Structure formats: structure tokens, C-alpha cells
């Protein structure tokens, strides 16, 4: 697995010189206020926005799109599914960049559905899913592609507490298996408790990057979000108290 490296990313008006090195085997959370450039940074790391991003020794924009797609899985925030596919057919779209053969495809799809607790819903049309089930099905699509890197924009937003835990455990397991996981998160407590590294963006600039406890200090939260807050509880189970 290779490092994902962004060098001085500039995207007009949205990113103003962001440099970031992401190591495989870790869960990195990108946090920041609305409009800070989180989604743009994630899209750039996925190679969808012009910018100097490299994966190991390869410049991302120079990789053939299919090769890039085999190595980087990207889950946008929109959650769009234009046609009323079954959960299994939806997850199978993650195999599109591969030419691995039907048996390999079926194995990867089954594994992804199992990991996200969707095996029982495999034949259900997406129109009949709850918001949380749909969010899991969309992530199953990414996992079915078995990418080295999983880049997900707000994957937990529509999930209830127990499914947030299921999903975070799965993402942790991916990182434990040596893959890279990058999540855009709004919930600072989730970033604090579950990420290995946190990157804080503010108005297109990277203002801090490092271990969550070292980065997400009350002083930085006050500076970036303009909110007075303090952490309660034990490491690994912290909660943010406002005021």
C-alpha cells in the first residue's frame, strides 16, 4: 500500500495551498466548518479535481482512470442512486473498474454486504431502504471495489448510533488490514474518539494536523469554529460540551 500525498493543493477559491501526507493503515478525519473546503480536498485526494496528488510514486492525474479507480474508492456526499437497483446490484457497481471475473466479483460483493450488515437486504430495492440502510449500501459499493484507499464524505451522517458503531468498526478493520481510510466528518467527537489523525481545514487552509487529542484542543475549536467548548469523559469515549 502506498502513501497518498497532496502537495500545495490550490483549487480556485476553495483550497489555498493544502499539503497533506496520508499513511496507509490509519483512519484520518478531515474536519472544519461549513465551506472550509473539506469535500473539495477529499475529491482532490480521489483525483477528481486537478491538483498535485500522488499515490506512492504515481501522480494521480497521470494514472489511467480505471487503474486509479481500482486503488481509490470514493463515496461522495450526494448519495444519489438514479435507478431503483437492488442493494446487491448497487454494491456490484463498485466492481466496474475491475476485470476480475464473475467469481471474484461475487466474492467481493458478498463480503462487502456482510461487512455492512446488509446480507439480509441484498435483494431489496434501494427505494425501500431507510436512510441508514441506504448509506450503508452506498458504502458497500465502495468496499466491493476492494480499494487500497477508502475516501468517504460524511458516511456517518444518516446513521443511527448503533450503525455508526458498526460502520466505524468496519472502517477501523480496513485500516487495521493496512488500507487507508479518509473521512470527512462534522462530528468532532467522532473524530476525537475514532480517528488516528485529524486534519483541520479553515477557509481553504490546513490549520492543524496530527493526533486528535493534540489537535482538537478547546483553543483550536474556539479559533476555527468560534465556539467555546471543552472535552468531557475518558480518552476513546470523549464528548464535547459546549459553553
Partner 1 sequence: MTRPATLLAGLLLLALPLSLLAGQVWIDPFGPPVRNAVPILMELRAPRAVLALLVGGGLGAAGAAMQGYLRNPLADPGLFGVAPMAALGAVLSFYTGYAVQPFALPVFALAGGALAMGLLALIAGRGAGIALFTLAGMMIASLAGALTSLAISLSPNPFALSEIVTWLMGALADRGWRDVALAAPPTLLGLALLARTGRSLDALTLGEAAARSLGVDPVRLQWLLAAGVGCLVGAGVAVAGIIGFVGLIVPHMVRPFTDGRPSALLLPSALAGALLLLLADCLCRLVPLPGGELRLGIALSLAGAPFFLHLLLRLRREVA
Q: CB of 39: closest distance to partner 1 in angstroms?
A: 9
Strand order in the sheet with 149-153: 72-75, 149-153, 180-184, 27-31, 197-202, 205-210
Q: Facing residues of 240 across strands?
A: 231
Stretch of residues binding partner 1 (CB under 8 A), selected from 103-111, 138-146, 205-213, 229-237: 138-146
The DSSP secondary structure of 179-197, one letter per residue, reads -EEEEE-S-HHHHHHH-SE
Q: Which of 100, 11, 16, 6 is nearest to 60 (CA)?
A: 6
Q: CB of 106: closest distance to partner 1 in angstroms?
A: 14
- Is the Cβ–Cβ distance between 105 and 98 less than 8 Å? yes
Q: Is residue 82 at the binding interface for partner 1, with CB under 8 A as the rule?
A: yes
Please give the biggest Cα pair distance in the chain: 56
Strands (E), 23-87: 27-31, 53-55, 58-59, 72-75
Kindly tell me which of 138 and 216 has the beta carbon lying closer to partner 1: 138
Give me 115's grid cell: 461487512
Binding residue for partner 1, selected from 30, 43, 122, 144, defined by CB under 8 A = 43
> Could you give the CA distance from residue 65 to residue 91 in angstroms, rounded to a whole number?
20
Kindly tell me which of 84 and 223 has the beta carbon lying closer to partner 1: 84
> Could you give the CA distance from residue 72 to residue 54 in angstroms, rounded to a whole number?
12
Give me 10's grid cell: 490550490
Q: CB of 207: closest distance to partner 1 in angstroms?
A: 26
Q: Is residue 191 at the binding interface for partner 1, with CB under 8 A as the rule?
A: no
DSSP letter at 86 equals B
Kindly tell me which of 147 and 212 has the beta carbon lying closer to partner 1: 147
Q: Is residue 141 at the binding interface for partner 1, with CB under 8 A as the rule?
A: yes
Q: With CB under 8 A as the rule, give the number of residues binding partner 1.
A: 34
Q: Is residue 97 at the binding interface for partner 1, with CB under 8 A as the rule?
A: yes
Kindly tell me which of 94 and 212 has the beta carbon lying closer to partner 1: 94
Q: Is residue 81 at the binding interface for partner 1, with CB under 8 A as the rule?
A: yes
Stretch of residues binding partner 1 (CB under 8 A), selected from 8-16, 23-31, 71-79, 209-217: 71-79
Q: Is residue 165 at the binding interface for partner 1, with CB under 8 A as the rule?
A: no
Q: Is residue 55 at the binding interface for partner 1, with CB under 8 A as the rule?
A: no
Give me 94's grid cell: 463498485
Q: Which residues bind partner 1 (CB under 8 A)?
A: 43, 46-48, 64-70, 72-76, 78, 80-86, 89-90, 93-94, 96-97, 125, 138, 141, 145
Amino acid at each position: 500500500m502506498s502513501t497518498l500525498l497532496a502537495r500545495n493543493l490550490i483549487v480556485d477559491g476553495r483550497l489555498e495551498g493544502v499539503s497533506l501526507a496520508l499513511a496507509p493503515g490509519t483512519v484520518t478525519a478531515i474536519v472544519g466548518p461549513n465551506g472550509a473546503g473539506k469535500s473539495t480536498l477529499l475529491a482532490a485526494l480521489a483525483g477528481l479535481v486537478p491538483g498535485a496528488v500522488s499515490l506512492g510514486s504515481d501522480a494521480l492525474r497521470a494514472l489511467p482512470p480505471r487503474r486509479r479507480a481500482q486503488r481509490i474508492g470514493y463515496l461522495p456526499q450526494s448519495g444519489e442512486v438514479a435507478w431503483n437497483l437492488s442493494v446487491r446490484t448497487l454494491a456490484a457497481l463498485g466492481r466496474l473498474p475491475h476485470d476480475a471475473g464473475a467469481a471474484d466479483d461475487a466474492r467481493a460483493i458478498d463480503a462487502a454486504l456482510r461487512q455492512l450488515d446488509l446480507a439480509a437486504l441484498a435483494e431489496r430495492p434501494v427505494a425501500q431502504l431507510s436512510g441508514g440502510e441506504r448509506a450503508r449500501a452506498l458504502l458497500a459499493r465502495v468496499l466491493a471495489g476492494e480499494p487500497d484507499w477508502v475516501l468517504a464524505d460524511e458516511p456517518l451522517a444518516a446513521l443511527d448510533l448503533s450503525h455508526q458503531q458498526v460502520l466505524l468498526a468496519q472502517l477501523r478493520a480496513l485500516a487495521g488490514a493496512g488500507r487507508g481510510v479518509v473521512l470527512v466528518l462534522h462530528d468532532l467527537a467522532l473524530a476525537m474518539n475514532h480517528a488516528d489523525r485529524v486534519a483541520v481545514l479553515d477557509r481553504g487552509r490546513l490549520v492543524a494536523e496530527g493526533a486528535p487529542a493534540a489537535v482538537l484542543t478547546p483553543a483550536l475549536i474556539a479559533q476555527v469554529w468560534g465556539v467555546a467548548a471543552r472535552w468531557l469523559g475518558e480518552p476513546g469515549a470523549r464528548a464535547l460540551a459546549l459553553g
